[in-house]
Amino acid sequence: MKREILHWCLLLMSQDFKDLLAALHERGIKVIMDFIPNHSSDQHEWFKKSVKKEEPYTDFYVWREGTPGRPPTNWVRITAIG
């Protein structure tokens, strides 16, 4: 996790990012950045252990049973292509 936070900090401090942001603002374009350090991949070790109900990882994620035939949430996954 620390590595990912470091990458975000380096990006936000880079001159390329500052130049891009300035150019967008000159054109009236606002930027919203989503930085959520508590997200993890379904391939992350903690997630895998939580799925298996291994302590202490059971409390690292919120789990609830879904309704039969339906996913447990109404969240939609959208993957950017390009």
pLDDT > 80? residue 45: yes
pLDDT > 90? residue 61: no
d(CA 64, CA 52): 14
* More confident: 80 or 23: 23
Predicted TM-score of the model (pTM): 0.42
pLDDT > 80? residue 51: yes
The domain spans of the chain are 2-59
d(CA 24, CA 8): 19
Q: How confident is the model at residue 13 (pLDDT cuts 50, 70, 90)?
A: confident
